[in-house]
Amino acid sequence: MPDPSSESSRTCACRLAALGSVDARRSPRTVGHRGARALAPENTLRAFEIAIARGLDMVELDVHLSRDGEVVVIHDAEVRYPDGRRVAVATLSAAELAAIDLGEGQGVPRLVDVFALARGRIGVYVELKGLRTGAGLGALVRAGAAEGVELVSGSFVPALVAELRDAAPQVPRSVLFQRTATSDMIATCASVGAAYAHPCFRPLDAALVDALHAAGLIVMAPHTNDVAEARAFAAAGIDVLATDDPGVLARIAVSS
């Protein structure tokens, strides 16, 4: 277990460095939600390829563990077969999941395959969904699978974020929130050494963003497919914006 005081100092330094890089851009960083799910089956290699081609900064994806312990990229705890059957992800091997046609010939990818695709081309924001995914991602990082990939990871479940902190403390962390008090968001992020706060609710106003910034946090917005809302998020000082359709963020004009 890392020394709490030294971990806190490192986390603070990472936050300040990351915020500096965001400010230097003078516009929010752009993220493809579940890849580019408006243009391809979500959370598939094809969706991530489109996000890369459209020039986004990062892709967001969700992970669970397969029966054989692989970290696999899928939003829900169940996978739907073309015939409508739903089967728990945890009961299938990674190979079985990869063979399911999710559309356009795409199956459920392993996270290591996404890292290989993304390396040197796009960052990856991993949302931890299933049990033990924090530890699973940490094991991949320790094995070098994410080498050369800009990586951020978070969850609505603080325990999974703490699990990742313990397994791979070098990975920048995020906590996702349903509506809650700003002070509680700040305290929760501090408790797991998170550099990012990700409020997934509306409205988000400049006062909330300013309070999170004052606490040293980088702020991510809920994904939006509305150009006007994306512009409003940017005007409020949001650091990271996500969308299903890369064209939405390409149309934002943010004054410097």
Taking the whole predicted model, whether its pTM rises above 0.75 is answered as yes
User: Which residues make Cβ contacts (< 8 Å) with residue 77, sequence separation at least 6?
Assistant: 64, 88, 89, 90, 129, 130
In the chain, the domains with their CATH numbers are 4-63+110-250 (3.20.20.190)
Q: Evaluate if residue 14 carries a pLDDT over 80.
A: no
Pair 115, 149: CB distance under 8 Å: yes
d(CA 178, CA 249): 23
Question: Which pLDDT score is estimated for 26?
Answer: 57
Planar angle of CA 99, 102, 104, nearest 5 degrees: 100
Q: What is the pLDDT of residue 211?
A: 98
Q: What is the mean pLDDT of residues 196-217?
A: 97
SS (H, E, C) 163-217: HHHHHCCCCCEEEEECCCCHHHHHHHHHHCCCCEEEECCCCCCHHHHHHHHHCCC
Give me the mean pLDDT over the 234-245 stretch: 97
Q: How far is CA 121 from the centre of its chain?
A: 16
CA distance 161 to 173: 7
Q: Which amino acid, residue 204?
A: L
pLDDT digits (tens, 9 = 90+) for 105-134: 999 999 999 999 999 999 999 999 999 999
Residue 61 has pLDDT above 70, yes or no: yes
Model pLDDT, residue 27: 85
Q: What is the mean pLDDT of the chain?
A: 91
**What pLDDT sits at residue 251?**
83
> What number of other Cβ atoms are within 10 A of residue 103's Cβ?
12
Q: Can you tell me the distance from the alpha carbon of 232 to that of 226, in angstroms, rounded to the nearest whole number?
A: 10
207 pLDDT above the threshold of 80: yes
| Neighbouring-strand partners of residue 243 | 32
Least confident of 20-34, 77-91, 166-180: 20-34
Sign of the Cα pseudo-torsion (75, 76, 78, 82, in order): negative
The whole-number pLDDT of residue 216 equals 98
Which residue would you say has higher pLDDT here, 8 or 59? 59
Which pLDDT belongs to residue 63? 99
- pLDDT at residue 192, rounded to an integer: 98
**What is the band of 235 on the pLDDT scale with cuts at 50, 70, 90?**
very high
Question: How long is the chain?
Answer: 256
Task: Tell me the per-residue pLDDT of 72-105, one tens digit each, with 9 for 90 and over.
Answer: 999 999 999 999 999 999 999 999 999 999 999 9
